[in-house]
Amino acid sequence: MKKKIIGIFVCTLAIAALSTSSTAIDTTTNTKPQQCDVVVMWINGGFGITAGIKNTDETNPITVVCTITLTGPVFPKTKSKTYTIGPGIVQRMPMHVIGLGMIIITVTAGSASFSTTAKVFGFFVKVA
């Protein structure tokens, strides 16, 4: 009985630790080409992966192809979608994954991109 309780406690702690992770990007140092009006703001973990893509143009909406690419023992490997993002708006791009181990997450939006590492445990992702 004690082993079952300890096992449940350890699993609960692992799930809680994995579901509260995120990586923020300092947008003041994020370099972008002159014609690029989009920036990758953040990548969050938890139940899958979510990326935030911001339209930095304060007057015009933009249409941009956003891609999340994963390298490592995880499925699926990529997700692409075209978004029309309003002026100054941050668009969320979710992706559900399953895997086990270390992965590299690369988010590309137009010509802007950002990469980070993460750990996957089943459906849960902990971004480094």
Q: According to the model, what pLDDT value does residue 36 have?
A: 67
| pLDDT tens by residue, 95-117 | 999 999 999 999 999 999 999 99
Distances in whole angstroms, Cα of residue 11 to Cα of each of 28, 74, 125: 38, 21, 15
pLDDT score of 37: 85
- CA atoms within a 13 Å half-sphere pointing along the CA-CB vector of 75: 1
The pTM of the full predicted model, rounded to 2 decimals, is: 0.72
Domains of the chain: 2-127 (2.60.40.10)
The total of other beta-carbon atoms located within 10 Å of residue 120's CB is 25
pLDDT at 120 over 70: yes
pLDDT in tens, 5-62: 444 433 433 443 434 444 444 444 444 434 568 999 999 999 999 999 999 998 999 9
pLDDT 10s digits, 76-100: 999 999 999 999 999 999 999 999 9
